[in-house]
């Protein structure tokens, strides 16, 4: 209980720090949900949550309770570290100290003779008196006694009513900024089942002049969860697409170089839903026309600036660029136009007497490279382009 409260406090503090500053990167929503639901014990190092409800049930009812009422499963204990973590919590529950509690371990009529309900092998065990159970009882359950000196697990009749321990993975959800040309994102814990009641946010930025193309490889989410895709850098941007279990989109494209994905996981997930995975890449949008200016135009452009722009018009068209204004520093601040086969034009200096100036690419793409050195005070350039039919 104590460490759960501490974790909630820490999260609250983080949030107020973020809200106190209206900074550009909005690290908000993914962090708002605490890793464990109220009342659960949070084992921070294990990223697991545990609960001992204040009721006594038969093994199968306890199993059902953990799954349906608590969104988890009867506890599995993988190693000594987890044994110790659960012990700390168990010992705080004064009402059950005298009672052994059900754990998610039971016997089977074949090898391995006992296994965790979550299908992991029980390769760590902590038997009472160090005595492993005989393999004779094929349908028995295990309980954990904390009564000293007999601390450990023992075989027990599944129909007895006992307290029990539930476990679920802590809802630790990313709020991440990804700046790259290509990459992959997925639901937390993928390809394991996703954590319940989380809201994860992924801010994706690709290089300027590109748009983000996001392709879902797989979407396996429950009917109450959704993936919301925003056309811009934050969750305040326009909603581009809402993906749910009934309306699955394969490919989503932004209109600018950033896109934000938010995954809302409901409380109804569980082992049968593995979540989702997607890849993204920067692509050059195909356009019919557009315009470009030097940064800050018509105010002086910044020093030491390098940028490349790629123009992409449909196949069967050429890029027809018209430069309307061009004043930069002689020799050192230049704009280079090229296509797959040639450098088409390279300009630096005061070109006021040569504008407007038009040029065409040989094919459907054109690259424009801008480079400015230090110590500048010129207004720069502006240009427009249109798709020009090759047959025209």
Ligand X SMILES: *[C@@H]1O[C@H](CO)[C@@H](O)[C@H](O)[C@H]1NC(C)=O
Q: Which residues bind ligand X (CB under 6 A)?
A: 20-21, 23-24, 120-121, 123, 128-129, 131, 150, 154, 177, 179, 205, 224, 226, 233, 242, 264, 266, 293, 324-325, 327, 340-341, 350, 352-353, 362-364, 382
Pick 360 or 362: Cβ nearer ligand X: 362
- Closest approach of ligand X to the CB of residue 197, in Å: 8
Distance of CA 269 to the CA centre of its chain: 17
Pick 177 or 277: Cβ nearer ligand X: 177
- Closest approach of ligand X to the CB of residue 104, in Å: 14
Q: Give the DSSP per-residue string, 22-51.
A: --SS---GGGTS-SS-TT-EEETTTTEEEE
Pick 20 or 392: Cβ nearer ligand X: 20
Q: In the structure encoding, which two tokens stand for residue 157, read together?
A: 């009749």
Pick 217 or 267: Cβ nearer ligand X: 267
- Closest approach of ligand X to the CB of residue 263, in Å: 9
Integer Cα distance of 389 and 392 in angstroms? 5
| Helix ranges, the chain (H) | 2-20, 59-64, 80-92
- Closest approach of ligand X to the CB of residue 221, in Å: 10
Pick 84 or 224: Cβ nearer ligand X: 224
Q: Which residues contact 293 (CB under 8 A, 6 or more apart)?
A: 380, 381, 382, 383
- Closest approach of ligand X to the CB of residue 137, in Å: 14
Pick 23 or 217: Cβ nearer ligand X: 23
- CA dihedral (175, 205, 314, 322) in degrees, to 10, reads 150
From residue 305, alpha-carbon distances to 70, 283, 330, 347, 374 in Å are 56, 22, 16, 16, 8
- Closest approach of ligand X to the CB of residue 240, in Å: 12
Q: List the one residue out of 48, 100, 52 whose CA is nearest residue 78.
A: 48
């Amino acid at each position: 209980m104590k460490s759960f409260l501490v974790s909630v406090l820490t999260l609250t503090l983080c949030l107020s720090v973020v809200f106190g500053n209206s900074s550009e990167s909005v690290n908000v929503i993914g962090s708002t949900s605490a890793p464990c639901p109220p009342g659960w014990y949070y084992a921070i190092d294990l990223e697991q949550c545990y609960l001992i409800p204040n009721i006594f049930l038969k093994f199968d009812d306890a199993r059902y309770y953990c799954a349906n009422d608590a969104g988890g499963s009867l506890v599995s204990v993988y190693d000594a570290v987890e044994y110790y973590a659960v012990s700390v919590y168990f010992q705080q529950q004064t009402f059950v100290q005298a009672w052994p509690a059900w754990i998610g371990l039971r016997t089977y009529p074949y090898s391995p003779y006992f296994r965790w309900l979550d299908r992991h092998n029980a390769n760590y065990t902590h038997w009472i008196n160090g005595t492993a159970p005989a393999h004779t009882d094929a349908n028995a359950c295990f309980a954990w006694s904390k009564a000293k000196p007999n601390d450990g697990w023992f075989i027990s009749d599944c129909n007895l009513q006992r307290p029990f321990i539930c476990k679920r993975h802590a809802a630790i959800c990313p709020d991440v900024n990804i700046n790259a040309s290509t990459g992959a994102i997925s639901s937390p814990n993928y390809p394991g089942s996703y954590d319940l009641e989380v809201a994860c946010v992924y801010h994706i930025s690709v290089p300027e002049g590109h748009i983000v193309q996001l392709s879902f490889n797989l979407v396996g989410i429950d009917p109450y969860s959704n993936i919301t895709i925003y056309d811009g850098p934050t969750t305040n941007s326009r909603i581009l697409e809402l993906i749910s279990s009934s309306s699955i989109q394969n490919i989503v494209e932004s209109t600018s170089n950033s896109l934000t994905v938010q995954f809302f996981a409901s409380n109804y997930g569980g082992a049968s839903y593995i979540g989702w995975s997607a890849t993204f890449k920067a692509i050059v949008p195909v356009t019919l026309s557009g315009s470009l200016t030097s940064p800050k135009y018509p105010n002086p452009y910044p020093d030491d600036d390098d940028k490349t722009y790629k123009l992409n018009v449909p196949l069967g068209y050429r890029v027809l660029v018209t430069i309307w204004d061009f004043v930069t520093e002689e020799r050192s601040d230049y704009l280079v136009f090229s296509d797959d086969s040639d450098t088409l034009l390279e300009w630096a200096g005061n070109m006021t007497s040569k504008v407007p100036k038009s040029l065409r690419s040989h094919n459907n793409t054109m690259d424009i490279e801008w480079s400015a050195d230090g110590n500048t005070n010129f207004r720069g350039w502006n240009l427009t382009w249109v798709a020009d039919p090759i047959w025209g």
